[in-house]
Amino acid sequence: MWDRAGRVVPGTRQSFCGLRGRRAHAAALALLGVLVASLTACGGISFSTISPPPPASVSISPLALSVPVGQTASLTAIVGNSTNPVVTWEVNGLIGGDATHGKISSTGVYTAPSAIPNPAAVTVAAIAQANSNAMAVVPLTVTASSSPVSVSPSATTLAAGATLTFEANLRGSPSAAVNWQVNGVAGGDAAHGTITSSGVYSAPLTPPRTGTATVTAVDQGGSGSGDCAATVAFSNVSLHGPYAFSLSGSDSSGFLAAAGSFTADGDGNISGGLEDANTRAGVSTNLAFSGSYVIGGDGRGSIDLTFADNSFVHWQVALVNDQHAVFSRYYGSVTDKFIVTGAFDRQDVSAFNTGALKGSYIVSLFGINSAAGLLKQAGVFTADGSGTITTGVLDANDGGVPALNLPLSNATYSVSSTGRGTVSLTAAGLTQTFALYALDSSRSKLVETDTTAAVVGEIKQQAAGPFSNLSLTGGYAFTMDGTSANGAYALGGVFTADGAGSLGSGVFDENDGGIVTTALAATSASYAVAANGRGTATLALNDNTNRTLNLVLYPEADGSVAMLDIDSSAVVALGAALAQTGTFTQSNLDGAFALHWDGTLFVTTPVSQEDISGVLEGSGGTLSGVLDISTFNPVTSFLAANSVTGTFLAAANGRATVSLQESLGGTVFNQSVYLVDDNTALTLDSDTRRSLVGLLKRQF
């Protein structure tokens, strides 16, 4: 669009092929008129006017603006002639911007850098996702703060847990007559860091949600305030205190499972380690270990453990925060090869006693039976706080042979002052014993310590009763995995429970041994919840086999639902549905996430177990990050740390699609992602190369 002087109006874009400018445009029209007249005179042409649809257009308001350093401004983009209103925001040609020229969110909120760039003028662009040729650009100038108060340094990066002394200046001279704030809170808080009256800032143990804390000095005389943007990075301090872990994987004998605990000192050292392990080669209990660790700024790191028998383990770690982390690792030597994947969580020492385990709990377990067949179990029991399990039932799918609603008898438990305990469950005359590692009064990790089977999992507090179909209401995202007649099997999706026994609005994705079907609908779906909290569900899918899945459901206190397939067929699967909250847009995946995926890689011979941990950063529909990939089978084994980039697109029901490509090798991960809330997403790999399920968990 031009103004009367022939200039392009800011906030609009106009492009031409060939001649440019108003005079050239007029000349072209005149020439066209001559040609048309000549052809018409010869009788060689006739016209019928067809008006093509107008192309998409973008406009931005305001048309220009100035933003002081460290401050924010909101811009609005309007997409015309399109049903898709979404735009991608850029600063100086970079999606989302950068720290030098300023950053912009997927909703158009621009944050000026902490220092004036050179030059101070930058450009902000909005590009229509419906048509990348449709865009609008506005000029923006970064200016100095208008306040006479400044903070030195004006910008800094420091490790989690570190301290730094800030200085306030009033009209260029040091001033102690200021009040210090962190993110608007006098003295700060645990999430963003604290600051003393003399300006000594202590960074939080985990980076804040945005990765940056704002330190502010407010002049006591009312002259104004000054800010510093303090970027906080993960460090060794982010891992401190007692933790419990559980893991599963494979070694040269087959499936392995383990659980244990350790203490991290915040300075790179691990002590007091204890592990119980169950493999095809046998059961080992109370294995002592110590070790060391290193945590990088992005939350990725490594843990090296040495056991009392001088055996060695290395984990690749991705921290969500100082409370939770995921890990994976392949280790191989001539005589010893294994791969593991798992997670660890901070322990609450007040739960290190038998009395803390009291009430009703859901148990979910997976592994193998004594013949190495796949075994999945779920159930509910009531603990009396004195070591006796008074009531309970257990469901199992033992290699496609279901055993349902089995009453528990002679069931007992104990928890010691170290946080390690024991559990014994007897159902249908079969007794399973477990090592227990308490996290808090609502959760514990379990691993079986007898040779009847080798399973690992968790117990979690049951949802509050009374129970009925109303116990399941609203939207849910879920994944479950196991095996089918075609090999590795995974199913995921989103659905809505109506509180009356129907599951509607379902969209499902299935990976059946590399046969991938996406965006499935259910021909029928229903559920019922009994008075003890045990539910059942039936899900009929229009997939490659038109299979009907029969499930057992156990609602848990945190809003999740344990799901066990109980079909007497080739499908053996266990998973969980998580209650969805909030609304879903592209911005749900903006920010930094730790990831954890595990499953089967089909393209090796024989097929391989594949476990992946890492971190991803999302911004405005794009993703980038690093994956630590472990792959194992008796023939091939390797570890690779690869950078990945890609895109995602989210729908209003919380189902998103993600495509990531490795920088090394170019392998593409196509995934269906199910948004739970602003912090959590479940994932299912929807390509023919592999079958993976896992999660994305927002860091910080």
pLDDT tens-digit series, residues 54-98: 788 899 988 888 888 877 888 999 998 888 999 999 999 999 999
Compute the distance between CA of residue 395 and CA of residue 418 in angstroms, rounded to an integer.
31
Judge contact between 531 and 552, C-beta under 8 A. Answer: no
Do 109 and 159 fall into the same domain? no
Same domain, 408 and 457: yes
Could you give the CA distance from residue 214 to residue 317 in angstroms, rounded to a whole number? 29
The domain boundary, picked from 433, 461, 489, lies at 461
Task: Give CA–CA dist 58/137, Å, rounded.
Answer: 9
CATH code for position 436:
2.40.128
State whether 478 and 543 are in the same domain: yes
Verify that 388 and 481 share a domain, yes or no.
no
Q: Output 307-311 pairs: Cβ under 8 A, ≥24 positions apart.
A: 307/275, 311/336
CATH number of 479's domain: 2.40.128.120
The answer as to whether 622 is a domain residue is no
* Domain annotation covers residue 118: yes
Considering 233, 259, 291, which residue would you say is the last residue of a domain? 233
Q: What is the pLDDT of residues 592-649, one digit of tens each?
A: 999 999 999 999 888 999 999 999 999 989 999 999 998 888 776 766 678 999 999 9
CATH number, position 110: 2.60.40.60
Q: How many CB atoms lie within 10 A of CB 385?
A: 12
CATH of the domain at 189: 2.60.40.10
Instruction: Note down the domain range covering 445.
Output: 349-461
543 in the same domain as 511: yes
Q: Quick one: pLDDT at residue 338?
A: 83
Number of folded domains in the chain? 4
Q: Do residue 455 and residue 360 come from a single domain?
A: yes
Whether 422 and 485 map to the same domain: the answer is: no
pLDDT at position 360 is 98
374 shares its domain with 451: yes
Those residues whose C-beta lies under 8 Å from the C-beta of residue 316, and which sit 6 or more positions away, are: 300, 301, 302, 327, 328, 329, 613, 628, 630, 639, 641
d(CA 301, CA 325): 10
Q: End of a domain among 210, 233, 256?
A: 233
- Inside any domain, residue 547: yes
In 3D space, the residue among 645, 642, 644, 615 whose CA is nearest the CA of residue 630 turns out to be 642
Q: What pLDDT is recorded for position 5?
A: 35
Angle, alpha carbons 308-314-316 (nearest 5°): 150
Whether 519 and 542 map to the same domain: the answer is: yes
Rounded distance, CA 237 to CA 203, Å?
10
Q: Is 26 helix (H, G, I), strand (E, B) or coil?
A: helix
Residue 244 lies in a domain: no
3-state secondary structure of 430: strand
**pLDDT score, position 633:** 80
Same domain, 561 and 483: yes
The answer as to whether 544 is a domain residue is: yes
Taking alpha carbons only, the member of 686, 667, 598, 690 closest to residue 316 is 598
Q: Are residues 354 and 457 in the same domain?
A: yes
Contacts of 313 (CB under 8 A, 6+ apart): 289, 304, 305, 307, 329, 331, 340
Nearest alpha carbon to residue 289 among 269, 278, 304, 274 = 274
Q: Is residue 89 part of a domain?
A: yes
User: Which candidate, 353, 367, 437, 422, places its Cα nearest to that of 396?
Assistant: 367
**Quick check: is 432 in a domain?**
yes
pLDDT of residue 1: 40
Do 138 and 154 have their domain in common? no
pLDDT in tens, 367-392: 999 999 999 999 999 999 999 999 99
Q: Provide the CA 558 distance to its chain's centre, in angstroms.
A: 17
> Is residue 434 a part of any domain in this protein?
yes
Residue 18: per-residue pLDDT: 36
- Give the whole-angstrom CA distance, residue 191 versus residue 4: 54
Predicted pLDDT at 38: 43
pLDDT of residue 335: 62
> Which of the residues in the chain have pLDDT under 50?
1-49
